[in-house]
Amino acid sequence: MILVLGGLDTTTHPQNQVSGFSYKLSIKAQKYSEDRLTSILFCKTFMATFTVHVTIENKPGISDPEGETILNDLVLKGTHKTVSKIKTAKMLKFTINEKDKKTAESKIQEICDELRIYNPMVSKVTITVFD
């Protein structure tokens, strides 16, 4: 086992206030196996952090009542006459540590499928990975 120490607690305590804050050093010991610590260090050292956007929208031909309502409001108000169609979508934003973009994308796809975040019968999913 390897012992890891560290931590700074900045909670307020009336007896130790300095300008409204007290600074109390709290030493927290956590035991990690060598494999777990190696895994943590490897993740921080050799993996990149990616932002992944998952956009879920209705497939073509599936009605979009929310988009239609918004469009009807614009038509009734007589404003923005150049807008002819509105489609709504849901976006999920993930931050993930992986070795490359392809792995990040496949991992997020796996998460979405596993958790059934969308209905594949009526929804189209677009996954975009950013550095």
Residue 3 has what pLDDT? 46
Decide: helix, strand or coil at residue 93. Answer: strand
Which is more confident, 72 or 5? 72
Indicate whether 13 pLDDT > 70: no
Segment 59-88 mean pLDDT: 92
**88 or 81, greater pLDDT:** 88
Q: Taking 80 as the threshold, does the pLDDT of residue 125 lie above it?
A: yes
pLDDT > 50? residue 8: no
For domain 47-131, the question of CATH label 3.30.420.40 is answered with no
Q: Where are the domains of the chain?
A: 1-46, 47-131
> What does the block give as tokens for 118?
């969308």
Using an 8 Å Cβ cutoff, are 87 and 64 in contact?
yes
Spatial neighbors of 8 by CB under 8 A, at least 6 apart, are 23, 25, 26
> What pLDDT was estimated at residue 32?
63
Q: Please, which residues have CB within 8 angstroms of residue 110's CB and are 6 or more apart in sequence?
A: none
Three-state DSSP state, 63: coil
Summary mean pLDDT of the chain: 80
Label residue 75 by pLDDT band (50, 70, 90).
confident
pLDDT top residue among 83 and 45 = 83
CB neighbours (10 Å) of residue 23?
12
Residue 31 CA: distances (Å) to CA of 1, 6, 44: 6, 12, 18
Q: Determine the average pLDDT of the residues in 78-85.
A: 88
